[in-house]
Structure 1
């Protein structure tokens, strides 16, 4: 995963304006400059981490994910979007990278919400070990507690056997 920057605006905007890929995400303005401006503001925001998911060998851009909403030892994540046609293991690997990074930051658990209609994603999270803890008229709320997170990282370790390596500038 690569820290998202202004140079990624066109890729991110393309994903987020794709009516099929982004149908469960918040709408974004149609102008590319709006995405560039958001990334410019993000660069000064220490409360979140926004990543472009990239292939480790080819550096091909595959998707995005964002960590935010720190609450004690828990973080939230979302803005998870992958290009069409990728193998299923890309979703598993990107989720594992997200959780490993959260642990590297010192968090022990995660929480998030998923739209009711986004069936494939809430099923993915439930299969990963997340517990549905609430619902409103549009979203299900989930928690992946410390023990469940540890079990998931162990269960899916074959997808990311070396964990992650974090480098900073």
Structure 2
């Protein structure tokens, strides 16, 4: 992974910071009833999506949040992922959604690139995130990856993973970098 003008360059994907031009793609993907099942709902109004991006860009400028479009090497938009809720030396990531038909390994590569960027470029030492309990495949992946459930509520599992735990997983998944 390399950084180039705030583009994360991966093996099979590049991750670009979201801008206003991405509003239609974000709106379309986030409005997909199958794909958004495990995400917070959005307003059914593209103007509100554009306004959200405008406010997000202020948080990005202050390095409080980073929202990426995930693209293949032909620059086709494949999905979205966001880093936010920076608390001390821990970051949260989520809003992760990939289009239908995208190869499974792209999701793993995104996860790896998120951790690489946050741990080695931003200097975080841990990550905290939540996953809907009924999102079985994603819960299983994070457990297998080494993340620990630290609490739960009716709807969600809350995970933590340290930089050291990531480095162990990185050995196992390094072919995706």
Q: TM-score, normalised by structure 1?
A: 0.91
Q: Distance in 1 between matches of 2:70 and 2:170?
A: 19
Residue 171 of structure 2 corresponds to which residue in structure 1?
154
| Corresponding residue number in structure 1 for 2:126 | 109
Cα deviation digits, residues 19-57 of structure 1 (max 9, x gap): 0001111111111111111101111113111110111x2
Q: Which runs of 5+ in 2 are unaligned?
A: 1-14
Find the counterpart in structure 2 of residue 92 from structure 1: 108
Structure 1 segments unaligned to the other structure (5+ residues)? 161-169
- Partners of 1:80 and 1:42 in 2: how far apart? 16
Q: Is 1:54–2:71 an aligned residue pair? A: yes
Residue 93 of structure 2 is aligned to residue 77 of structure 1: yes
Please give the alpha-carbon distance, in whole angstroms, between the structure 1 residues aligned to 2:20 and 2:141. Answer: 30
Matched, 1:3 2:20: no
- Counterpart of 1:28 in structure 2 is 42
Q: What are the within-5 Å matches in structure 2 for residues 112-123 of structure 1?
A: 112-123=129-140
Structure 1 segments (4+ residues) deviating >2 Å: none
> Aligned partners of 2:71 and 2:103: how far apart in 1?
14
TM-score by length of 2: 0.87
Determine the C-alpha separation between the residues in 1 that align with 2:79 and 2:107: 10
Partner residue, 1:129: 146
Structure-2 separation of matches of 1:95 and 1:89: 10
> How far 1:138 sits from its partner (Å)?
1.1
CA distance in 2, matches of 1:127, 1:119: 12
Instruction: Tell me by how many angstroms 1:69 deviates.
Output: 1.0
User: Quick one: distance in 1 between partners of 2:141 and 2:28?
Assistant: 24
By how many angstroms is 1:137 displaced? 1.1
1:13 aligns with 2:27: yes
Which has the larger strand fraction?
2
